[in-house]
């Protein structure tokens, strides 16, 4: 086997389909978000504004978060030095888990090194705990849930995105005595639409199923204390397992599930992705704890209001120019280009010509034909940044002769 030729073929396929991924080398500067420096391949540095980050509230540069991280780093050193079971459980991990359990009104929370791992490890472990488990998974669930469900060896049913009637049909067709779990998201990150939480909980009650929700794109940003859409809609108590990240609105790193003490105990004891991996660095846990605690307060509420205001302003302005947008009322602002090559070109032109960084989003992250630029406005994007973005989009849309009215439906 010519391994190198095989690798070349695989990479060439991506080039041909216009979905070869280029990582932009950026340096974020503390205190200066969303401004950053782009280090070009030739070594030249260009100032840019980041419009596609998931540090949705700018917490990655919040002084309280940084102070907590510095303090923990000085107190305890760099890494945790072990898995949770073998010397890697510290006071910082315990504090963060308590903070998260309180956030979601659950008995316990369990930390993982990312929400990806939390989803994958938990969903792939549940059939060991509930033999014969059938998982009903929304068709647009994140890759981490898909992987967890796929690897677990149990039965799975995929329901059409947000289609509760289809979910009902699938539930009704299965053995009423079989253990069941419905896995879905509260905010789908590419379109910014919401999962029908209440209707899914109703079905779960009717069919005796557990519910598993990914609130990764909602925690910190929705609800009176930042616990997500299920808090906003007063549905937290109806969800059995809530998954969240500490890497997006909380601005640090790590993921978790919040659930009953028994469920945490069982997952903790059976999930290889939890057991056999070094725990989060204490400084990360300390920073995340400060961030979660802060976003529970009135300061957090203020940031949440500013965040939504910025998203509304950007959507209104882009829509006003007739750009083809998806608007489901969340903080995510996707502008559909509909072609991978055009999307990449627009992204390149924004970066090189205007110092505006928005990564092209292509298949398989989104379906083919819906390639897009996905903007994530935040409280740290001011009027100056917004004006520059709107002007650039207007010019480029005309320059590239992209359709406005027709695509805008």
Ligand X SMILES: Cc1ncc(COP(=O)(O)O)c(C=O)c1O
Segment 134 to 163, residues that bind ligand X, using CB under 6 A: 142, 144
Interface stretch with ligand X, choices 62-70, 113-121, 130-138, 334-342 (CB under 6 A): 113-121
Which region among 109-117, 265-273, 346-354, 375-383 touches ligand X (by CB under 6 A)? Answer: 109-117
Integer CA distances (angstroms), 18 to 340, 343, 345, 371, in order = 6, 9, 10, 11
> Residues for the chain: how many in total?
409
108/113 with CB nearer ligand X: 113
Contacts of 179 (CB under 8 A, 6+ apart): 130, 131, 132, 133, 134, 210
- Reduced to 3 states (helix: H, G, I; strand: E, B; else coil), residue 236 is helix
Among 106, 156, 180, 248, the active-site one is 248
User: Among this protein's residues, is 315 annotated catalytic?
Assistant: no
- Tokens 């391994």 map to which residue? 3
| Tokens encoding 182 | 């419905």
Q: Hunting for tokens 């599930």 — which residue is that? A: 257
Q: In terms of C-beta density within 10 A (0-12 exposed, 13-18 middle, 19 or more buried), how is residue 9 classed?
A: exposed
Q: Least separation, in Å, of the C-beta of 174 and ligand X?
A: 26
Identity of the residue, 115 or 271, whose beta carbon is nearer to ligand X in the bound complex: 115
Per-residue binding string, ligand X, 191-230, x by CB under 6 A, is -----------------------x-xx-------------
Cβ closest to ligand X, residue 214 vs residue 240: 214
Nearer to ligand X among residue 179 and residue 254 (C-beta): 254
Least Å distance between CB 37 and ligand X?
23
Minimum distance, C-beta of residue 54 to ligand X, in the bound complex (Å): 7
Among 76, 108, 114, 259, binds ligand X (CB under 6 A): 114
Measured from the CB atom, the residue of 197 and 323 that comes closer to ligand X is 197
CB atoms within 10 A of CB 299: 12
In the complex, minimum distance from the CB of residue 254 to ligand X, in angstroms, rounded to a whole number:
7
User: Among 255, 287, 340, 377, which residue interacts with ligand X (rule: CB under 6 A)?
Assistant: 255
Distance in Å, CB of 312 to ligand X, minimum: 22
By CB under 6 A, which span of 65-73, 108-116, 228-236, 322-330 interacts with ligand X? 108-116
Q: Exactly one of 108, 119, 343, 376 binds ligand X (CB under 6 A); which one?
A: 119
Q: Which of residues 229-248 bind ligand X (CB under 6 A)?
A: 245, 247
- State yes or no: residue 115 binds ligand X (CB under 6 A): yes
Q: How far is the CB of 56 from ligand X (least distance, A)?
A: 12
Shorter beta-carbon distance to ligand X: residue 223 or 255: 255
Residues 174-193 that bind ligand X (CB under 6 A): 185, 189
3-class DSSP state of 35 = strand
Q: Kindly identify the residues of this chain, within the stretch 293-322, that bind ligand X according to CB under 6 A.
A: none
3-state secondary structure 135-181: EEEECCCCHHHHHHHHHCCCEEEEECCCCHHHHHHHHHHCCCCCCEE
Contacts by residues 295-298 (CB-CB < 8 Å, ≥ 24 positions apart): 295/57, 295/59, 295/220, 295/225, 295/226, 295/249, 295/250, 296/103, 296/225, 296/226
- Pairing of the two strands 372-375 and 35-39: unpaired
CB of 212 closer than 8 Å to CB of 123:
yes
Q: Which long-range contacts (CB under 8 A, 24 or more apart) does 82-91 make?
A: 82/278, 82/279, 83/275, 83/276, 83/277, 83/278, 83/279, 84/111, 84/268, 84/274, 84/275, 84/279, 85/275, 88/278, 88/279, 89/279, 90/279, 90/282, 90/285
What are the structure tokens assigned to 4, written together?
């190198």
When the beta carbons of 58 and 244 are compared against ligand X, the nearer one is 244
Q: How far is the CB of 339 from ligand X (least distance, A)?
A: 23
- What does the alpha-carbon distance between residue 190 and residue 195 come to, in Å, rounded to a whole number? 13
Q: For residues 251 and 377, which CB has a smaller minimum distance to ligand X in the complex?
A: 251
Interface contacts to ligand X, rule CB under 6 A: 114-116, 119, 142, 144, 185, 189, 214, 216-217, 245, 247, 255
Residues assigned a catalytic role: 248
């Amino acid at each position: 086997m010519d391994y190198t030729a095989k690798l070349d073929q695989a990479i060439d396929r991506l080039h041909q389909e216009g979905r070869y991924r280029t990582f932009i080398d950026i340096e974020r500067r503390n205190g200066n978000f969303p401004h950053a420096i782009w280090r070009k391949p030739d070594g030249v540095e260009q100032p840019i504004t980041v419009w596609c980050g998931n540090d949705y509230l700018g917490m990655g540069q919040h002084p309280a978060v940084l102070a907590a991280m510095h303090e923990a780093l000085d107190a305890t050193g760099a890494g945790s030095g072990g898995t949770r079971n073998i010397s890697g459980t510290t006071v910082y991990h315990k504090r963060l888990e308590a903070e998260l359990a309180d956030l979601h009104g659950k008995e316990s929370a369990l930390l993982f090194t990312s929400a990806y791992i939390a989803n994958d490890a938990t969903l792939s472990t549940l059939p060991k705990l509930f033999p014969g488990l059938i998982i009903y998974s929304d068709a647009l669930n994140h890759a981490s849930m898909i992987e967890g469900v796929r690897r677990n060896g149990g039965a799975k049913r995929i329901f059409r995105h947000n289609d509760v009637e289809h979910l009902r049909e699938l539930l009704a067709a299965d053995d009423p005595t079989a253990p069941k779990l419905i896995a879905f998201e509260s905010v789908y990150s590419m379109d910014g639409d919401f999962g029908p939480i209440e209707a899914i909980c109703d079905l779960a009650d009717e069919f005796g199923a557990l519910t598993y929700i990914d609130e990764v794109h909602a925690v910190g940003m929705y609800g009176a204390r930042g616990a997500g859409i299920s808090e906003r809609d007063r549905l937290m108590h109806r969800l059995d397992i809530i998954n969240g990240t500490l890497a997006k609105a909380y601005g640090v790193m790590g993921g978790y599930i919040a659930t009953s003490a028994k469920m945490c105990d069982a997952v903790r004891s059976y999930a290889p992705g939890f057991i056999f991996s070094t725990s989060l660095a204490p400084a990360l846990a300390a920073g995340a704890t400060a961030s979660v605690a802060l976003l529970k307060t009135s300061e957090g509420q203020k940031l949440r209001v500013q965040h939504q205001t910025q998203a509304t302003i950007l959507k209104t302005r882009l829509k006003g120019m007739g750009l083809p947008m998806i608007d489901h009322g969340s903080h995510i602002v996707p502008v559909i280009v509909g072609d991978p090559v055009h999307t990449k070109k627009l992204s390149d032109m924004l970066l090189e010509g205007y110092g505006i960084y928005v990564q092209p989003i292509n298949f398989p992250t989104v379906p083919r034909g819906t390639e897009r630029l996905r903007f994530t406005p935040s409280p740290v994007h001011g009027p100056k940044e917004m004006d520059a973005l709107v002007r650039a989009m207007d010019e480029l849309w005309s320059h590239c002769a992209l359709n406005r009215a027709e695509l805008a439906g």
